[in-house]
Amino acid sequence: MGVVPTDDELIATVRSVRSQNPALGIQKLLAAVLTAEPTWSVSDKRLKKVLQKLKGDEFPTSSLNAALDVGKYSDKVRPVVFGPEKGKGLVAAQDIRAGEVLWREDPFVYAPPWEIYDAQLIGTACAYCARAFTPSTPPLRVQCPHSTSSSSKAACQATFCSRLCLSRSGSTHTLLCPVANPSCDHLLAFLKERKWKAALAFTKCVVRILDAHQGSKGGKDEEGYMDKDAILTTYNSFATLRSDKRWTHTSENDLARSANEKLFAAIQTGLVQAFYIPPPDDSSLSPSLESKLKEIPLVPRSPVREKSLKKILKTPIPPEISASLFSKDGVLEGLGKMSLNLESHGGLFPLHSHLNHSCTPNLSVRHIPGDIHGPNPSRITLIATSEIKMGEEVVISYVDPNQNVKERRRKLREWDFGICRCERCTREEKEVVEETGGKGDMEDEIRGFLGV
């Protein structure tokens, strides 16, 4: 009979094993724990209970955005922090009527639907605002300035609504232009092939941060202009849960998890190849920062491509920012931010990202007028769907609220929410149990949550 470890002992060993192999499934994790502690006696049932306890300690982290002036959007809501588990949210600053518009918002970055993204690549939608072109818009169109100024075999068909959109883009397009920055070609090919929305949105964030550090004047006279500090503060404020942590407890098998690891490595390599310039040696860097920089893979780049990138990124990027964008941790956290915060149409919105989920939402996200040919196709409008009292939280549904409890919970697990215990879900679960006279659905939910 082996030694039965205490919960604290078992948790410490599980944490240690998972830090080295975060993708292990239940059986392989148990084998690894027993290899590390061969005198122990631990059942898979006991391990599942410990994992469930650990699950409760792993929440997305978020912070209020010091650069966000909520009053510019609306005087009807105010941001609050509910606690470490729930994080931040929005509550009504006054009584709100059903049907009332609370605010309108343009995205921090926009990863458009793939048909629009493809249209941007071939010049039939604006490369900046994503407005789709019609026969009535050609006179104002402006082609990518690099497409006509180079003898390179590479081509860029990007087109802008007008010189205003071209100016607003700053050097963000230049970094993603295969003519101006040929080092981005593999990254663009990866994004086009994989159709991975989080990767596209994270790429847009990386480009916007790098552009801001070049002192770009793109959009400086616009109402929504943000300087480099505000851009970085906004990016850091989005709720974060590393992408590899999001599926630690899901039902994906080891093969699927291995495939995910390869995808993470591929996007990191693409980003490094496209945009990363190693900082010069600096003995004043902290050991932890130096370690993170050493983790960034060195991807070979030809002298011509190196010169092209340095021509765009003339101002060196601070080492701590490079580490936060290009290290493995930085990439996984960035992808996690996108997965948690992207609106369904692909926009990343600073104020919208405060909204928490409810299976009984009192707010609706609308795309008005909803015409991809109209101006501001990425803009959202937030409308109250019911009366909201001052101090009450304003919430949206991350899933279709018309689905039954089992389907809603299944969808919510994809957001790493675990089992939803809201008032509606608890009530409907009880009704299902009473109707079926059993607990089959609940047991299915728990098995899915634990990944077994």
338 lies in some domain? no
User: What average pLDDT does this structure show over 22-47?
Assistant: 86
Residues paired with residue 125 on neighbouring β-strands, in sequence order: 132
pLDDT band at 451 (very low <50, low <70, confident <90, very high): very low
Q: Per mean pLDDT, which of 84-88, 115-119, 446-450 is the most reliable?
A: 115-119
Mean pLDDT: which of 82-96, 242-256, 304-318 is highest? 304-318
Q: Is the pLDDT of residue 252 over 70?
A: no
Domain membership of residue 344 (yes or no) is no
Determine the pLDDT at residue 191: 97
- Measured distance between the N- and C-terminal CA atoms of the chain, rounded to whole angstroms: 26
Do 187 and 296 belong together in one domain? yes
Asked if residue 2 belongs to a domain, the reply is: no
Helix axes 26-36, 44-56, angle to 10 degrees: 100
CA angle, 366 then 64 then 70, to 5°:
50
Residues 417 and 371 placed together within one structural domain of the fold: no
CB 355 within 8 A of CB 363: yes
Please report the pLDDT score of residue 446 as a whole number: 45
Helix (H, G, I), strand (E, B) or coil at 92: strand
267 and 214 within one domain: yes
Cα gap 243→335, rounded to integer Å? 6
Rounded CA gap, 50 and 9, in Å?
11
Mean per-residue pLDDT, 147-162: 79
Q: Are residues 243 and 375 in the same domain?
A: no
pLDDT of residue 26: 86
* CB-based burial label for 79 (10 Å; 0-12, 13-18, 19+): middle
pLDDT at position 411 is 85
Task: Calculate the average pLDDT of the chain.
Answer: 86
Find the length of the chain. 452
Please provide residue 40's backbone torsions phi and psi, each rounded to the nearest 5 degrees: -80, 155
Residue 207 is given by DSSP the state H
- Same domain (yes/no): 85, 118: no
Which band of pLDDT confidence, cut at 50, 70 and 90, is reported for residue 45?
confident
* pLDDT at 153 exceeding the cut of 80: no
DSSP state of 384: E
Which tokens go with 60? Answer: 């997305």
Assess whether 310 and 184 both reside in one domain.
Answer: yes
pLDDT of 250 > 70? The answer is no
Q: Pick from 329, 360, 382: which residue ends a domain?
A: 329
- Say whether both 147 and 197 belong to one domain: yes
Q: Does residue 397 carry a pLDDT above 90?
A: yes
Q: Is the dihedral of CA 210, 214, 218, 222 positive or negative?
A: positive
Q: What is the structure's pLDDT at 244?
A: 75
CB atoms within 10 A of CB 3: 11
Provide the pLDDT for residue 448.
Answer: 47
Does residue 230 share a domain with residue 305? yes
Residues in Cβ contact with 389 at an 8 Å cutoff, skipping those fewer than 6 apart: 92, 95
Q: Which helix (H) or strand (E) holds 104?
A: strand 101-105
Residue 217: its pLDDT value, please?
56
Q: Are residues 190 and 292 in the same domain?
A: yes
The answer to whether 42 touches 68, Cβ cutoff 8 Å, is no
CA distance 331 to 340: 14
Amino acid at 81: V
As a whole-number percent, the residues of the chain with pLDDT over 70 amount to: 84
Residue with tokens 């079926």: 436
| Beta-ladder partners of 61 | 240
Same domain, 188 and 90: no
Tokens of 329: 């941790």
371 plus 436 within the same structural domain: no
Write out the residue range of the structural domain in which residue 175 sits.
111-329
Whether residue 339 lies inside any domain: the answer is: no
DSSP 312-354: H--SPPPHHHHHHHHSHHHHHHHHHHHHHH--TTSEE-TTGGG
224-238 confidence digits (pLDDT tens):
678 999 999 999 999
**CA 275 to each of CA 13, 17, 172, 175, 293: distance values in angstroms, whole numbers, following the listed order:** 38, 34, 11, 8, 14
Considering the domain architecture, whether residues 47 and 87 belong to the same structural domain is answered as no
Contact 335, 376 (CB under 8 A): no
**404-416: pLDDT as tens digits:** 999 998 888 776 6
What are the CA-CA distances from residue 148 to residues 116, 142, 179 (Å)? Answer: 24, 11, 10
Do the domain assignments include residue 265? yes
What is the C-alpha to C-alpha distance for residues 331 and 312, in angstroms, rounded to an integer? 22
CATH number at residue 379: 2.170.270.10
Q: What is the pLDDT of residues 108-129, one digit of tens each?
A: 999 999 999 999 999 999 999 9
Distance of CA 415 to the CA centre of its chain: 11
* Residues β-bridged to residue 90: 79
Helix (H, G, I), strand (E, B) or coil at 447: helix
pLDDT digits (tens, 9 = 90+) for 340-385: 999 999 999 999 999 999 999 999 999 987 666 677 889 999 999 9
Q: Of 354, 328, 342, 367, whose CA–CA distance to 201 is shortest?
A: 342
With a cut of 50, say whether residue 249 has pLDDT above it: no
For residue 372, CA distances in Å to 120, 131, 366 come to 12, 6, 14
In a domain, 310, yes or no: yes
Mean pLDDT to the nearest integer, 391-402: 94
User: Which pLDDT band, with edges at 50, 70 and 90, does 449 fall under?
Assistant: very low
Structural contact between residues 308 and 177, judged by C-beta atoms closer than 8 angstroms: no
Is 254 in a helix, a strand, or coil? helix
Q: Determine the Cα–Cα distance for residues 117 and 126; give it in Å rounded to an integer.
A: 10
pLDDT at residue 334 tops 90: yes
Task: Report the domain count for the chain.
Answer: 4
pLDDT of residue 160: 94
In degrees, to the nearest 5, what angle opens at C-alpha 142 toward C-alphas 141 and 144? 140
State the Cα–Cα distance between residues 364 and 279, nearest whole angstrom.
45
Res 157 pLDDT > 80? yes
